[in-house]
Structure 1
Amino acid sequence: MASTLRLGFTGDVMLGRLVDRRQRSRSVDAVWGDLLDELQSLDGLFINLECAVSREGHPWRRTYRPFHFRGDPRWVVPALERAGVDWVSLANNHALDYEVEALCDTVDRLDQADIAHAGAGRTDAAAREPARLSIDGVEIALFAFTDNTPEYAAGPDSPGVAHVSFDLHDEESRETLTSTIQKAKETNPDIVVASLHWGPNMVTEPSSAFQDVGRWLIEQGVTLVHGHSAHVVHGIEIHDGHPILYDTGDFVDDYAVDETLRNDRGFLFEVCVRRDGIPDELRLIPTEIRDCAVNTASEAATEWSHRRLRERSEPFGTRLARVGDELVASLDDDR
């Protein structure tokens, strides 16, 4: 039995639109490019799933939405299974793109595939409910929230996403986060993960309010903060020995590429966690989206991503050492 678990975290995984079309003429594995073996080697894999997984429903028209993302479950579910995805966040601004029917179908299909999920459901209580899973005897609780698209928020009797304002001065949101953390800790898990889809697109750093929330979550007993939404990787902070991944960027999608921000370049974030739940090391494997698939980054992309992440992490005092093509942070040194 290994002394540590290797847990992988990704940014946005959007398997609709052009990705969906491209996958219909290639193998299920193709969307994972040359990273499939790496993904399968992890003890746990946790992603933000930024699309409905359904053939049901119709595009959301209740309010203006410029994009609607939906992937065909006939290939999406097998692809998630092949990569070894253990859990997905559904708390984002695309979970209801094809209305209630597609969201409920997504939840049901994930349940049928035994892929855990959090952040959306048939009621607000279900959307806020932490997911629980055991990996090699280590108990993990995960919850998910978003501050995007308030019209997608679940209600007492209506499906939707777990929605909060990430502002500690907002009493209702703070109480919601506090009660969810308490619920996540009820079964005394070894690891607690907060997955947060927060803030606007195409920004390069977290707001001061998000920094306050990230640190507060760690102080409340969260093991790791898994952020996403900006489509751009943000700097990493190690707070009391625990990683705050403010934004994990994009992992696979068909989005237009900003030539300055390079939202097609990112990382697979691998957190090594001891069996007692203490994070030990953070490994960052550079990735690049090509042909609607995620791949190991080219040499040029690797150099660019290393430079940008070091620049963005420097204000947090995070030390990232290069080991081969990876960046590594030892979390022990920060405790």
Structure 2
Amino acid sequence: MAIYIVYAVLGLIALFGVLIVMPAFFPARRPLPTESDYAHRIPGYWEWYYSTKYLNPIRRAAAGTDLEAHFRENRMPGAEEDLREVRTFTLRAVGDLMTRRDLMPPLSGGLWDEVGEYLFDADLVVGNLEFAVNENRVIEKLLRYSVTPSHARPLLGDERFGKFDVVSVANNHINDSLHGGIVSTCDYLDQAGIVHVGANRTAEERDQFPIIEVEGVKVAFLAYTFSTNSIPLDEGCEYGTNLVRFNALRERDYDPSLIRRHAADARNRGADLIVSLHHWGLEFEYYPPERIVSRAHDLLEAGIDIILGHHPHILNPAEWYYTRDGRRTLCFYSLGSITSWALRHPLHRMAEIVSIQIEKGTMPDGGRVVRPRAVTITPTYFHLRHPQTPRADHRIIPIFDCAASIEKGTPPSYLSPSGMRTIPRLAREYRRYFEQQAFAYR
């Protein structure tokens, strides 16, 4: 009997080794069917596919789709009728704010040095807080994050520049320390003066999404997540986060009724503009699956004006979308992870700061309109500290500016040797796969 147990253990070790080695030699070139949800995985297949994408991100859209042409041909708004009595404001957004064990002073002191002045100089600054803040239950595992307030603080702003105004807490890590962590996260954000949406301490909070007035425009914020990583919400607290199975392979498993209800409620409460933050999509794939694009269009038709997507830990394209009733809307399928912990591939640490100009005005026929007007995108890179550099701390850097400095022979002093090689490669990768004629870049 003992020998059979030894054989079984050796067999499992060999299988595990094959699953690790195979992706390096047999990477997937096109997306394969997956919900990318640990709760709905096929054992073995999920591990292999996740590993192959982690090591070799998939740069092509699914076979048989026209998604690559769809995004390539998307255009920025042209000259339309002149508005009267125009007022504008700026919303800037990022994707995932993920924690690191060492993202505390002094190593976080330079985190926002290169982008903070620009990012926080906006009327509204928005992001996705992808961890729980729970001083009583600290968890630092590969797939679970629950940290202390001192860990969270550097990620939410810098006293020299400002802080986030709104964060989504609807994501697959908000339940990592269970409902107690949901409550403590919301309490912490309240104390920090940061508006939060998507996680709920009580059943009533689910429908009490925030509406913020800026320049006379009432902006509603909604937020939803596709999963809680197979960690069930506490019994009796199923309202803890806004779950919508965005990634479902079958339509019968996708139910957007909560989003539709919230969008209608937002209009009834006087919202002029609805911004919805969606934690969705497939990790390490450059293009969203066709079903996500279709579902995004349906939600824009249902009344949402701007979708800010995150979760794939890699960038996706974005698009302007005109609804059937003539509204001009926007969807960013993935803004990437502006900070990260376990993501080591440089492509995983590439993200975007999007700056959206919102206009309010009067049409020639007297009708009032509030809509996104223009978008400027800043590609960024999360540069990890290096002990051999003079300023060894983590920081978020603008890729194009940094690449230009390297080309001129005046690289920033904080760049590590690997950073000197990586930044020009990332600039080329971004221009090849993510730069679109529909947007401006800086």
TM-score, structure 2 length as denominator? 0.63
Are 1:245 and 2:332 matched, yes or no? yes
Residue number among 370, 374, 377 corresponding to 1:277 in the alignment: 370
1:255 shift after superposition: 3.1
Match of 2:104 among 2, 8, 23: 23
Q: Which runs of 5+ in 2 are unaligned?
A: 1-84, 323-327, 361-368, 385-393, 404-423
Quickly say closer, same or farther: Cα 1:71–1:157, change in 2 above 3 A: closer
Of 178-187 and 221-230, the range deviating more from structure 2:
178-187
Bigger mean CA offset, 49-58 vs 191-200: 49-58
CA contact (8 A) 1:123 1:156 kept: no
Deviations 1:21-76 (A, max 9, x none): 2323246x53223111012211111101111123122549xxxx842223431363
Specify the code of the residue in structure 1 equivalent to 2:375: L
Give the residue type in structure 2 aligned to 1:54.
N
Pick from 182, 187, 192 the counterpart of residue 274 of structure 2: 192
- Does the 8 A contact of 2:131 with 2:174 survive in 1? yes
Q: Tell me, what secondary structure is at the counterpart of 2:231?
A: helix
RMSD: 2.7
- Cα distance change on mapping 1:152 and 1:137 into 2, 3 Å: farther
Conservation of the 8 A alpha-carbon contact between 1:124 and 1:154: no
Q: CA deviation at 1:208?
A: 1.5
Paired position in structure 1 for 2:434: 309
Aligned equivalents of 2:278, 2:240: Cα separation in 1: 16
Distance 1:165 1:155, change over 3 A: farther
Deviation of 1:165 (Å): 1.6
Quick one: which amino acid aligns to residue 331 of structure 2? Answer: I
| 1:319 aligns to 2:438 (yes or no) | yes
**Whose strand fraction is larger, Structure 1's or Structure 2's?**
1
| Equivalent residue runs for 1:1-335 within 5 Å | 3-15=87-99, 17-18=100-101, 21-26=102-107, 30-57=110-137, 59=139, 66-74=142-150, 76-77=152-153, 80-82=156-158, 83-123=162-202, 125-127=204-206, 129-149=208-228, 151-153=231-233, 157-158=237-238, 160-166=240-246, 169-170=251-252, 173-240=255-322, 241-258=328-345, 262-275=347-360, 276-291=369-384, 292-297=394-399, 298-299=402-403, 300=424, 301-310=426-435, 319-321=438-440, 326=442
Secondary structure (helix, strand or coil) at the match of 1:183 reads helix
For residues 253 and 182 of structure 2, the distance between their equivalents in structure 1, rounded to whole angstroms, comes to 29
Name the amino acid aligned to 1:67: L
Q: Distance in 2 between matches of 1:143 and 1:81?
A: 22
Amino acid at match of 2:187: D
Query: What letter is aligned with 1:185?
Result: R
Could you tell me which amino acid in structure 2 is paired with residue 103 of structure 1?
I
Percent of aligned positions that are identical: 22
Deviation at 1:2, TM superposition (A): 8.7
Deviations, residues 73-115 of structure 1 (Å, cap 9, x unaligned): 1363465253321111111111122232222111011112221
Q: 1:235, 1:135 → 2: CA distance?
A: 28
Distance between the aligned counterparts of 1:111 and 1:263, measured in 2? 31
| 1:210 positional shift | 0.8
Amino acid at match of 1:215: H
Tell me the distance in 2 between the aligned counterparts of 1:72 and 1:100.
16
Of residues 263-272 and 123-132 in structure 1, the stretch that sits farther from structure 2 once superposed is 123-132
Taking structure 1 as reference, are residues 263 and 128 closer, same or farther at Cα in structure 2, changes over 3 Å only? farther
State whether residues 265 and 288 of structure 1, in contact with CA within 8 Å, keep that contact through their aligned partners in structure 2.
yes
Once residues 233 and 180 of structure 1 are traced to their aligned partners in structure 2, the CA distance between those partners, rounded to angstroms, is 27
Classify 1:30/1:163 alpha carbon distance in 2 versus 1 (closer, same or farther; 3 Å).
same
TM-aligned CA distance change 1:238 to 1:225, over 3 Å: same
Alpha-carbon contact 1:127-1:154 (below 8 Å) kept: no
Q: Deviations over 1:212-231 (max 9, x none)?
A: 11111111111101111101
User: Once the 2 structures are TM-superposed, how far is the Cα of residue 153 of structure 1 from its aligned partner?
Assistant: 4.5
Using the alignment, how far apart are the partners of 1:173 and 1:289 within structure 2?
35
Distance 1:71 1:35, change over 3 A: farther
Letter matched to residue 293 of structure 1? R
Would you say how many aligned residue pairs link Structure 1 and Structure 2?
Answer: 307
Shift of 1:248: 0.8
Q: Distance in 2 between matches of 1:31 and 1:154?
A: 35
Unpaired segments ≥5 residues, structure 1: 327-335
TM-score (norm 1): 0.82
Runs of 4 or more, structure 1, over 6 Å off, are none
3-state SS of 1:263 partner: helix
Q: Is the 8 A contact 2:97 2:127 kept in 1?
A: yes
TM-aligned CA deviation for residue 133 of structure 1: 1.5
Query: Which letter maps to 1:194?
Result: S
**Contact in 2 for aligned 1:122/1:158 (Cα 8 Å):** no
Cα distance in structure 2, aligned partners of 1:59 and 1:119: 21
